[in-house]
Amino acid sequence: MTVVGYIDELIVKAKKAQSIFAGYSQEQVDAAARAVGKAVFDNAEELARLAVEETKMGKYEHKVVKNRNKPTTTWHHIKNKKSVGIIGYDDEKGIVEVAKPMGVVGAVMPVTNPNMTPAHNAMIALKGANAIIIAPHPAGKKSGLKTVEFMRAALKAIGAPEDLVQGVDVKPEDAIAASGALMALSDVCVATGGPGMVKAAYSAGRPAYGVGAGNMQCILDVDADIKDAVPKIITGRTYDNGVLCTCEQNIICHESKVDEIILQHSKMV
Which residue in the list 218, 245, 247, 253 is annotated as catalytic? 245
Q: What angle do CA 14, 163, 105 make, to 5 degrees?
A: 45
253 given a catalytic annotation: no
**Burial of residue 80 (number of CB atoms within 10 Å: 0-12, 13-18, 19+):** exposed
Active site residues: 245
